[in-house]
Amino acid sequence: MSAPDRGAVLARLKADPELSGLRRSLDFYYGDTRREASMDAFYGRFVRPGDLVFDVGAHVGDHIACFRRLGARVVALEPQPACMRVLEALYGDEQEVSLVHAACGAEPGTLELHVNSDNPTVSTASPHFIEAATGADGWQGQRWDGRIEVASTTMDLLIERYGVPAFAKVDVEGFEDRVLAGLSRSIPVLSFEFTTIERDLAARCLHRAAELGFDGFTLSLGDERRFLVPDWVPAGELAERLRALPHEANSGDVYCRAREER
């Protein structure tokens, strides 16, 4: 889809009253050419033309756009119906993008998704995430006011169907440990989101990643595209750095590199 065509589609999506909860995300994640250039430069170290990439927790698809600009084939998972409407409108006609309307977890089947209607980006399948957010500084006013049953798959099943990705981004609001529980092998590079309200979850994810064969780790904060830890370090060292982060750091992503990639 050309940039003008995508702009027209975005305008229609923003005008749709049923997608009002996503307008802020659409405004933030699309149309900023400097942000797009920064994303391309950052992810370009992991993703090359022709690579397969998994986007687990695609939300409104800004990472899909980045991976496609880099020439990758993309498998994008998103369980929220409203977000999937956006993804289908923006990427449904692209042959190199496979959209999967499902969550990702430890096993296939169904699971309950807690929906935050006002801020869908933090909808979650994890009740523990909601408990951790309740009353926490920076999370005031968040309400998970709906529940829906959604289909669920696993990373292993995705690999069986689509192949081994060169890179996988996992951003599922406190359910990252369950996603890694459904993966039984390493891949070249994987990232997972962490929050400072659930540091123990991040530590569990690091432990699981090390079990899978990842042995180099680093991290970035928020929407920044730079490594806070400049070198790839062992899981234990990164866990200590995560524990030392101030609460105000809020969130970021841990990057895991497999042994054969070092």
First to last CA, the chain: 36
Among 1-5, 42-46, 136-140, 220-224, which stretch is predicted with the lowest mean pLDDT?
Answer: 1-5
Answer yes or no: are the C-beta atoms of 73 and 165 closer than 8 Å: no
**Per-residue model confidence (pLDDT) at position 233:** 96
C-alpha to C-alpha distance for 39 and 223, rounded to whole angstroms? 10
Name the average pLDDT for the chain.
Answer: 95
Q: Has residue 262 got a pLDDT over 50? A: no
**Per-residue model confidence (pLDDT) at position 4:** 62
Band the pLDDT of 5: cuts 50, 70, 90. confident
Mean local confidence (pLDDT), 49-65:
98
Tokens standing for residue 138 = 């920076």
Q: Which domain holds residue 176?
A: 3-261
Answer yes or no: are the C-beta atoms of 126 and 148 closer than 8 Å: no
**Per-residue model confidence (pLDDT) at position 49:** 98
Query: Residues 79-89: pLDDT tens digits?
Result: 999 999 999 99
Q: Say what the pTM is.
A: 0.95
User: Domain of 57: which CATH number?
Assistant: 3.40.50.150
**What is the share, in percent, of the chain residues with pLDDT greater than 70?**
97
Task: Classify strands 251-258 and 189-195 as parallel, antiparallel or unpaired.
Answer: antiparallel
Q: Which residues partner with 111 through β-bridges?
A: 150
Domain count, the chain: 1
